[in-house]
Structure 1
Amino acid sequence: MDIIKKLSHGCTLDCHDCCKFNVYTKGNNVVKIEGDKNHPYTKGFICKKGMAHLDRLNHKDRIKTPMLKVDGVWKEISFDKAIEIMAEKLTYYKEKYTSKSVMHYDQYGSGSVLKYIGDIFFNFYGGVSRHKGGPCWSAGMHAQKYDFGVAKSHAIEDMLNSKSIFVWGKNPAYTTIHTMQIIKKAKEKGIKIVVIDPIYTKTAQIADKYVQVNPGTDGALAIAMAKIIVEDKLYDEEYINSYVIGFEEYKKYLSSLELSFLIDECGVKENDIRELVDLYTNKYSSINVGYGLQKYKNGGNTIRAIDALGAITGQIGFSGGGVNYANKVYPSVINSDPYNSQSYGEDREFYVSNISKFIEESLKNTSNKVNYASDELDMTSNKVNYVSDELDITSNKTDYISNELYNLSNKSIKGNIPIKMAVITKSNMLNQLPDLVELERVFSKIEFKVCFDMFITDTATLCDMFIPCTNTLESEDIIYSSMTNPYITYNERAVKPAHKLMDEYYFFMELAKKMGLNDYPFVEKRTYLEKVIEPLKRFDKNLDIEKLKNNYFTIHNPVAWEDKKFETPSGKYELYSESIKNLGISPTPVYISNKYKEIEDKNISFRLLTNHHADTLFSQHFMDKKSIAQAYINRRMAKKVGIEDKDIVILRSKKAKINVQINIDDGVGNYIVKMYVGWWKKHGNPNSLTDTGISDFGGQVTYNESMVEIIRQN
């Protein structure tokens, strides 16, 4: 008779909380998932998204056998056949066009360490064409890199030591439930809760002060606050003299701006801004920053402007303070590449925002007569390098990314090598990336496309071969968060998959054997993972996988930058960054106007904001929804357009149009359409409408620059 076992596991979704589970199994079946009541962060409660791992494990539509598309129809094949086909294709394209003719695209469909094994494989293969920048947080990450040296955050419990908590462009009630629990406790203690957001969110409902800012103008608000702080001499001169570089330059910039201009831009009244300043400068106050406010062309500067508030008031490195965006504690410590795969090849890189242009340009003027693998190709070009680290969007040009895109990165490589094969892991890219109509058109031109997934997603539908992968409950692994949960977790395999090679770790190992990649690490998972965590032994000399499985382990300091030793070139907080200046970008934070002038006169233009729902994360949890996509506008805007609640309308952008059902929500600001990200093509995906622009630095996709028209259907 099978007994019930309790196993250790962590949630692998791309979420702040990275919750710790207890998984109960009987035989080869999972009977229950629950939050670990003893875990210092999870404290026993998890969300519906985490609970859904079990639903997805046993879902009726889950694919467990590789498939090949033959004459447009999926046909089942064996794993051996799938490996044979992939090996033949990869070998052929490398020999004919170089390894850079293969594009590997992945994202955060799973956050555990060994789900990144595709990256390791393609390094040993010789390097491929890979994306840089991203759809999530990259502008803000680069901003904090320039300001602090790296993004670090306080423990969420430290908010209980704050006098005020600023929640800026973030809705933790939906996106980080453990943070929200602390915010509620803080409110009970009498700590002031301030929410700044274009939308009156669930989090805003408990705020002591809610400020509705115009979309894309958070930088104007932060700079207005800084201007008042400086003019009223509320800054911390002693702290600045000891730990900050560039205050005088920033003061000079602030003095060049009229407060009235900043007020007009952000749409917040002066007395409200002054109240924010009073609350914030009553030390110590913490700021928690979301990711939506950096998905604009000025996204990086916006985060730098918010960071600056903490620096000039001396609130960095003290309990109760901090500017909390992300928490990159583990990436610089663990050994994520224990077998030195990166020494085996370089990648050709392109920005995510411009993936369609990159593919299209690569396919132009290519010929079967040219041996692209020749070492004699001319690698020079007079074209602008649009994959440099940052972009200057302060120029007078309106096209911030030139149409000349895609000469090669400085890191790589040879001339106009065509993309002939694409391998997609951990991503439903044809759901999540912008301007999907164009991406579908261009993606279809790639000769051979392979998708690793559990389901036939919108991306898998356009591929030529499908490789089924494991659910997290079928995988031994390690998971850590670079957001709020500071603990690293060992994931025990709870149940066996239908086939060993459903685990990408073993699939790529067999593929490497087939291709004769003799230096590839042909080792079991446990051996690999022990090497990954080896550097953590400087914190605990007895640490190993077994100890990690049975204990709660963290290396996180609950107060970020407590020693005031910043990881910048100067060792100080860099309000003025030479690193950015050397790239031709303003070395201090600046405000780049993002307010759409005369929007009311146009009468038809609405900014599309795509947010995250409490019960869904990206596209994973929308698969079974039956309704068409839902969109939200306020009552005033509905009246202006002449529509009512539950009407079916067309949303149209310059890119495409979709049908949606309107929901009246007076929490949505004027001239805004809110949708939740993740709707599939069959529902009406808002990313068919979204903008392909790129942020000022970091290569962030500027989803929130998208404008749509609402068209009634009579």
Structure 2
Amino acid sequence: MSVTQVPGACPLDCPDGCSWQVTVQDGEAVALRGTPDHPYTRGTLCVKVNQFLEHTRAPDRLLHPLRRIGRKGEGRFERISWDSALGQIARRLTETIERHGGEAIWPYQGTGTLGFLQGLQGRAGSRLWNVLGASRHDMTICSIAGLAGLQYTLGTSTGIDPENLVYSRLILLWGSNPLTTHHHLWKVIQRARRDGAHVVVIDPIRSRTAAQADEHIAPLPGTDAALALGLTHAVLQEGAEDHEYLDTYTVGWEAFRKRVLEFTPRRTAQETGVTEEEIIRLGRRIASSRPTAIRVSQGIQRHAGGGTALRALACLPAVTGDWRRPGGGLLYSTDGYFGGNREALYRDDLLSRPVRSLSMTRLAEGLLETDDPPVEALIVYGANPLASSPDQNRIRQGLAREDLFTVVMDHFQTDTADYADIVLPATMQPEHLDVHDGYGHLYITWNEPAIAPPGECLSTTETFRRLAWAMELTEPALYASDEELASELLDSRHPSLAGITVDTLRDRGWARLSYPKGHVPFANGFPTPSGKLEFLSETAQADGFDAVAGYVPATETHDTQLAQSFPFVLLSVANHFFLNTIFGNKQALRRRAGPPYVVLHPKDAAASGIASGDRVQVANRRGAFEALARIDDVVRPGVAMTTKGHWPKLTDGSGPNATVDERDADMGGGAVFHDNRVRITLLPPRGDDSSEDYG
């Protein structure tokens, strides 16, 4: 009997980017655990990933290429060979290029894996798309508005090292629910609490994390920038601004100070729905707590003022001087710490001319309205946009176009795959080679193939190599092996990779990037044009934004007239048992998640005549979905909460994104999932048991 431990990495869209070990016995993966000696993973995985090996062996997993034989959306396919599938794809892409040029092809990639070889971080497939001249896929669905906002203030989106939170005396978890979305950070926070740190959750919802915090502040959705300015005002009232730091490391302080003084406790309370007493109390705590750390997650920037909100939040640690202290500052993403040679993977030099960009969160617009040239070929991988992207009903219309050739590469037959012309079976993480970093820590991880792929599944890289061959393309870069790609990625002179090679990383399975523990990234300035933190950004002004960090209200959330017809602000938050739509078809996790639900405050429920367990419709002018009502004061009046991740075809055929507008945030073209008003009405009970599939 042969037993080995194979190092790997969780591929999913989570900041924890866990290191794991697969136990392989006689060629079969028999166990999975977090890597015990990894300083951040510390031997544990989440409730979702603990069952990942079962997921790879699911009976509904795709194992062979398929060709559509029914109408689009019916999900009826027949098995075909790889040669036949690739031949058909090659022919259709060639015909599309001949008619309209390469830009009529849209390679639509999602966050199904964040790997540098197989997934989003390395823009898997970009070499092929560059050779073909395909449209550039603009990845706007997740965090782009906040990243853009931070660039104006800090010159980078990279924040503090999460492990430095052990030094923090005050931790603000702002729109962050780590017990559901990145539970390893909670362990760091708990160590800080044992040393006296005070933890405050700022979130419209009393989440799992808020329930365990020392304090919970519940602002109205989309008002975070106003609250940040109001808390800064309270710091100034205490005379707690760090004048030395402001003079040495910032520009535009006087202009920003004038803006802050406009946000008195009264005005801030009116904007945010937080009481004046709460604002003053928390502001005084910030004024006296050194260092203070702010952990911000993506949810707060998914509205019309999302980028502006991150600008304002990044300014607060500058006023208190916390940016220069270990355990002080702001954490949004750590992805920028990794200095791998991403450009070597992308190979944008293979483009013969500039191409247009198509926004991920404007898929319906791209399929239904773009005509110069029209999108005639859609290649979807690592994504399930029919369930995950805004304006679900119009996406369905676009995918149903008979003249649209759609290829889906996936592990399961998702809602999106039901509309494909060709479906290709993809490998899962224990079956291919990859390299990962994490956007919530400072480690990189090697993922060694542990087992052979089942059926005829191929990795993303191998699929694109074979497609290039089927199209008779001669560019050598299209045929680089996975090992060659990994070597090119790590062939970098960036100091973060000092001493890290393919051999050392492969041997151990993980490595901390070459930054010392406790380091302070901006102790000596910021990578802005001025070299300082910019309260006032000339770059932002040149790009058409307010030069001074401030507050931009959410569009629908702030619309009192719209509220008369659609009284609830709907927040679609992370499901504890799904990750985006991954695991949405796994029966064990579906049972634990339960059927789709919407949470109402008791006062709102009473006014609407809705009781817990009632079937309701959540709707606006864009669309509707059905859910079961839950009555709970974890939400504030006027706010309704549901969770994302359910597959529409496994519920009522729709989901929360049917109600979300295909509209951009203020910066970066980000999505506005949380800038969404709805009405909620009682539906008659069904005769059948609508929750039967959930146990």
Could you tell me the TM-score, scaled by structure 1's length? 0.89
**2:172 partner SS:** strand
> Among 464, 472, 497, which residue is 2:453 paired with?
497
- Does residue 634 of the first structure (1) align with residue 641 of the second (2)? no
What do residues 383-410 of structure 1 show as CA deviations (whole Å, max 9, x unaligned)?
A: xxxxxxxxxxxxxxxxxxxxxxxxxxxx
What do residues 245-278 of structure 1 show as CA deviations (whole Å, max 9, x unaligned)?
A: 1111112223445542222010112221121112
**2:406 partner SS:** strand
Q: Does the Cα contact within 8 Å between 1:67 and 1:74 map onto a contact in 2?
A: yes
Q: Does the Cα contact within 8 Å between 1:140 and 1:294 map onto a contact in 2?
A: yes
- Does residue 466 of the first structure (1) align with residue 423 of the second (2)? yes
Structure 2 partner of 1:271: 277
- Does residue 359 of the first structure (1) align with residue 367 of the second (2)? yes
Structure 1 partner of 2:155: 149
Range 510-519 or range 137-146, more displaced: 510-519
Q: Does the Cα contact within 8 Å between 1:286 and 1:321 map onto a contact in 2?
A: yes
What do residues 597-649 of structure 1 show as CA deviations (whole Å, max 9, x unaligned)?
A: 65898385111101112221011112133764121112222111101111111
Structure 2 partner of 1:327: 334
Q: Distance in 2 between matches of 1:614 and 1:628?
A: 13
Alignment of 1:90-489 (within 5 A): 90-116=93-119, 118-281=124-287, 282-330=289-337, 332-338=339-345, 340-345=347-352, 346-363=354-371, 416-445=372-401, 446-481=403-438, 483-489=439-445
**2:222 partner SS:** coil
CA shift, 1:279, in A, is 1.5
CA shift, 1:494, in A, is 0.7
- Does residue 553 of the first structure (1) align with residue 511 of the second (2)? yes
Q: Does the Cα contact within 8 Å between 2:338 and 2:496 map onto a contact in 1?
A: no
- Does residue 659 of the first structure (1) align with residue 629 of the second (2)? no
Residue identity opposite 1:713 in structure 2: L
CA shift, 1:219, in A, is 1.0
What do residues 325-377 of structure 1 show as CA deviations (whole Å, max 9, x unaligned)?
A: 111235543335247344324331133333322332224xxxxxxxxxxxxxx
Structure 2 partner of 1:584: 544
Q: Does the Cα contact within 8 Å between 1:69 and 1:464 map onto a contact in 2?
A: yes
Structure 1 partner of 2:690: none
**2:416 partner SS:** helix
Q: Distance in 2 between matches of 1:490 and 1:133?
A: 24
Q: Distance in 2 between matches of 1:140 and 1:621?
A: 27
Structure 1 runs not aligned, ≥5 long: 364-415
Range 96-105 or range 128-137, more displaced: 128-137
Residue identity opposite 2:676 in structure 1: S
Structure 1 partner of 2:492: 535
Residue identity opposite 1:465 in structure 2: I
Q: Distance in 1 between matches of 2:622 and 2:415?
A: 18
- Over 3 Å counting, the alpha-carbon distance change for 1:561 and 1:313 in structure 2 is same
Aligned length: 660
- Over 3 Å counting, the alpha-carbon distance change for 1:601 and 1:302 in structure 2 is closer
Residue identity opposite 2:584 in structure 1: F
CA shift, 1:564, in A, is 2.4
Range 348-357 or range 503-512, more displaced: 348-357
Q: Does the Cα contact within 8 Å between 2:127 and 2:346 map onto a contact in 1?
A: no
Range 451-460 or range 175-184, more displaced: 175-184
- Does residue 707 of the first structure (1) align with residue 677 of the second (2)? yes
What do residues 72-108 of structure 1 show as CA deviations (whole Å, max 9, x unaligned)?
A: 3311111111111111111111111100011111121
Structure 2 partner of 1:383: none
Q: Distance in 2 between matches of 1:695 and 1:305?
A: 16
Q: Distance in 2 between matches of 1:550 and 1:40?
A: 17
Residue identity opposite 2:16 in structure 1: D
Structure 1 partner of 2:59: 60
Range 341-350 or range 574-583, more displaced: 341-350
Q: Does the Cα contact within 8 Å between 2:409 and 2:423 map onto a contact in 1?
A: yes
Q: Distance in 2 between matches of 1:302 and 1:537?
A: 31
Q: Distance in 2 between matches of 1:681 and 1:565?
A: 48
- Over 3 Å counting, the alpha-carbon distance change for 1:663 and 1:20 in structure 2 is same
Q: Distance in 1 between matches of 2:343 and 2:25?
A: 33
- Over 3 Å counting, the alpha-carbon distance change for 1:258 and 1:141 in structure 2 is same
Q: Does the Cα contact within 8 Å between 1:637 and 1:671 map onto a contact in 2?
A: yes
CA shift, 1:538, in A, is 5.2
Q: Does the Cα contact within 8 Å between 1:628 and 1:659 map onto a contact in 2?
A: no
**2:342 partner SS:** coil
Residue identity opposite 1:690 in structure 2: V
**1:316 partner SS:** helix
- Over 3 Å counting, the alpha-carbon distance change for 1:559 and 1:166 in structure 2 is farther
- Over 3 Å counting, the alpha-carbon distance change for 1:86 and 1:604 in structure 2 is closer
- Does residue 19 of the first structure (1) align with residue 18 of the second (2)? yes
What do residues 6-34 of structure 1 show as CA deviations (whole Å, max 9, x unaligned)?
A: 01001000001011111101123110001
CA shift, 1:237, in A, is 1.2
Residue identity opposite 1:307 in structure 2: A
What do residues 177-226 of structure 1 show as CA deviations (whole Å, max 9, x unaligned)?
A: 11111222222222111111101111112222211111111111111112
CA shift, 1:5, in A, is 0.8
- Over 3 Å counting, the alpha-carbon distance change for 1:685 and 1:560 in structure 2 is farther
What do residues 425-451 of structure 1 show as CA deviations (whole Å, max 9, x unaligned)?
A: 111111100110011102322520000
Range 9-18 or range 667-676, more displaced: 667-676
Residue identity opposite 1:545 in structure 2: V
Q: Distance in 2 between matches of 1:90 and 1:36?
A: 43
Q: Does the Cα contact within 8 Å between 1:322 and 1:560 map onto a contact in 2?
A: no
Could you tell me the TM-score, scaled by structure 2's length? 0.91
Residue identity opposite 2:11 in structure 1: T
What do residues 643-663 of structure 1 show as CA deviations (whole Å, max 9, x unaligned)?
A: 111111111111112211111
Q: What percentage of residue pairs aligned between the two structures are identical?
A: 25
Q: Does the Cα contact within 8 Å between 1:633 and 1:662 map onto a contact in 2?
A: yes
Residue identity opposite 1:7 in structure 2: V
Q: Distance in 1 between matches of 2:563 and 2:39?
A: 53
What do residues 121-160 of structure 1 show as CA deviations (whole Å, max 9, x unaligned)?
A: 4334333223325121111111111111112233323212
Aligned CA-pair RMSD = 2.1
Q: Does the Cα contact within 8 Å between 2:407 and 2:424 map onto a contact in 1?
A: yes
Q: Does the Cα contact within 8 Å between 1:83 and 1:511 map onto a contact in 2?
A: yes
- Over 3 Å counting, the alpha-carbon distance change for 1:568 and 1:690 in structure 2 is same
Q: Distance in 2 between matches of 1:490 and 1:500?
A: 24
Structure 2 runs not aligned, ≥5 long: 685-695
CA shift, 1:589, in A, is 1.4
Residue identity opposite 2:428 in structure 1: N
Q: Distance in 2 between matches of 1:457 and 1:540?
A: 38
